[in-house]
Amino acid sequence: MDFLGIREFISVVENRGFTAASKKLKISVAQVSRQVSALEDRLGAKLLQRTTRKVTLTELGTQFYQQCRPLVDALQDAENSVMDLQRKPVGTLRLTAPVAYGERILSPIISDFSALYPELTITVELSNQRLDLVEGGYDVAIRLGQLQSSSLIARKLKDRTLYVCAAPEYLDKYGTPHSLSELKQHNCLLGTLDHWRLSDAGKTRNVTVTGNIRCNSGPSLLIAALKANGIVQLPDYYVAPYLESGELVPLLQKFSPETEGIWAVYPENRHMLPKVKLFIDYLTLHLSEE
């Protein structure tokens, strides 16, 4: 169905003339007249009776107006609904994040965000797997460290710093390493990888380490380090309070790698939904306060 000219026709009827309709629609009188004439030609019916003094509806025009008015109202309601969706966060926000980071850092921020926007349903999947956002229907993912090449759009939320550290009791018993080669003589607490990212002579390198504890949970490795089981490399948001209190001692600081990113990634979309933008903006603001 072709809706061209219907808006102008209804405006002429309701504003009782072409001039008033043109002012209402903010277009020229000539344009209003052309659109209404084109509508009448397409329908093969005279809708308006024009005189020099006034414009009145024909019988067919009256019938057409009565049938069109509810349709135009429905279209306006649909347009307003879409515009509302663009202005405020509603519906469902689906996101994924690494397990430990999600539990420790994101959960309180998500709870505060939800309280601000109660009409928004937030679904969170915590997983250490890099889930496919498009296939899984996720709006946004939080990813840590170096990003893999992809078609996703990435926005850095914050930098993170990696620390190599150990409990004083461990160092008293086994000594303090001062070079990368000395790490081979120590029990290193491992995550999912067999190496740590460190800087050597200004270049980042992966240094192979070994140890008798391996776990894909940062909090679990932190507990092991605090219990003097070995040396660990963890991000600042895990170890900062313990470095400050002296329960952990920073090691090999001259070999510290460059900071890494904490990222929000989302599928390429020219029209980012308000719920996604608001959430990412909120995360950026509140992670900066951590």
Structure tokens at 109: 């921020």
If one counts the domains in the chain, the total is: 3
Q: Which domain holds residue 247?
A: 162-255
Are residue 146 and residue 272 in the same domain, yes or no?
yes
CATH of the domain at 116: 3.40.190.10
pLDDT (average), residues 179-184: 93
- Picking from 31, 91, 2, 112, the residue whose alpha carbon sits closest to that of residue 12 is 31
Could you report the per-residue pLDDT of 192-203, keeping only the tens digit for each?
A: 889 999 998 778
pTM listed for this prediction: 0.61
Residue 264: phi, psi to the nearest 5?
A: -105, 125
Q: How many CB atoms lie within 10 A of CB 174?
A: 15
3 state DSSP class of 285: helix
Residue 102 lies in a domain: yes
> CA triplet 132, 137, 141: central angle to 5 degrees?
55
Q: Are residues 54 and 78 in the same domain?
A: yes
Has residue 264 got a pLDDT over 50? yes
Question: Are 236 and 275 members of one domain?
Answer: no
pLDDT tens digits along 120-153 = 899 999 988 888 888 788 899 999 887 876 778 8
Reported as a single tens digit per residue, the pLDDT across 145-178 is 878 767 788 899 989 899 999 999 999 999 999 9
Domain assignment present for 261? no
